[in-house]
Amino acid sequence: MKIGIPKEIKTKEYRVGIIPSGVRVLVESGHEVYIEKDAGEKSGFSNNDYKEAGATILQSPKELYDTCEMILKVKEPQHREYDLLKAGQILFTYLHLAPHRELTEILKEKKVTAIAYETIQEGTRVPLLEPMSQIAGKMAPMVAGYFLSAHTNGMGVLIGGTSGVLPAKVLIIGSGTVARNAAKIASGMGADVIVMGRNPNSMREIEALLPENVSTLYSNRYNIEKILPTVDIVIGAVYNTGEKAPHLITREMLSLCKKGAVLVDVAIDQGGCIETSRPTTHDDPVFEVGGVIHYCVANMPGDYPVTSTHALANATLPYVKKIADMGWQTASLQDSAVYGGVNVAGGFVTEEAVAKAHQMEYRELKSIMDNCPGFGGTA
């Protein structure tokens, strides 16, 4: 299979979809790998690193999209990439389609086979989301602590306090991978941390593994409303596979927050779990609503590309190889995780949560496979 890795063009997105060791694995398996010029530069990889691993360097995204059967990315296609997509082409990347109707319509119209990292699921795990969730979780208290400073219009509270002065209080909504990593870092910085979740097993695990300045509380509206007036930082860490994030903090509830408090909505890729959230960028990361600071950068790990590219590429490679070796249809029939990753195929939405979010027709993937290009075998 001809596999192409374009340079990411989302604002301040420095990650790349593959590392040289992954190129070598694919080339040794008989595949052709094409990399857009300078795609890996910010992640620490030169064009020569990729060439030595067996890749071909292409000068433009158009040349790459025209050449390749599978496009391997990090973030969802941006507007100027829409016209480059081709019918039957495999797009393997983070898609987060539930809050993105226009992109969903484009993928349907183009009859792209769109496979989303975030809906590939192994049992209860989402293995391609986990490494970036770990990084975003670890980043969240760091960025919140920075924007809590007075010169950014924050409260002027130091997250870890100091001798004779109480530390900041941090509320984390969710008890999954983002929440655990956020709690680990926030507690290590000396904050008083409350993790609110609904999974008793996750909360027991957090209590067992993290220090005594981390406590847990069952998540419901009543408890959130009681806690909000007391906290300095809120980290939204909610994810339901493929679904649009629920608004656990409403616009009305925002009035309960302290002026100058910082809200970090890590769920913004799925639409955000705070009603007043909207996507921001690393160039312009925060905005205020009612005197409350919102940080809603939709590609947080992109700011640490050397770490995050390695973590992501190591996780995705086995799936990339399986799809390339077998073709996407055979791979999806043999591996339920790959099957669950297919969000759009043959002009239809095949991820029920996405169809529900946009009130679009949902088709079970197996029912349309016979009408899609490249059924069975390798491509």
User: Residue ranges of the domains in the chain?
Assistant: 2-126+304-371, 130-303
pLDDT at 191 over 50: yes
Contacts of 226 (CB under 8 A, 6+ apart): none
* H helices present in the chain, as ranges: 20-28, 47-53, 61-67, 101-110, 130-147, 177-188, 200-209, 221-227, 305-326, 328-334, 336-341, 352-358, 365-368
| Fold: same for 2-126+304-371 and 130-303 | yes
Looking at residue 207, its pLDDT comes to: 94
pLDDT band for position 373 (cuts 50, 70, 90)? low
| CATH T-level topology, domain 130-303 | Rossmann fold (3.40.50)
pLDDT tens-digit map of 309-331 = 999 999 999 999 999 999 999 99
pLDDT at 372 over 90: no
Task: Say how far apart CA 347 and CA 118 lie, in whole Å.
Answer: 20
pLDDT band for position 242 (cuts 50, 70, 90)? confident
* Residue numbers annotated as active site: 96, 269
Looking at residue 241, its pLDDT comes to: 83
| CATH T-level topology, domain 2-126+304-371 | Rossmann fold (3.40.50)
CA 305 to chain centre: 14
Q: What is the model's pTM?
A: 0.93
Looking at residue 52, its pLDDT comes to: 98
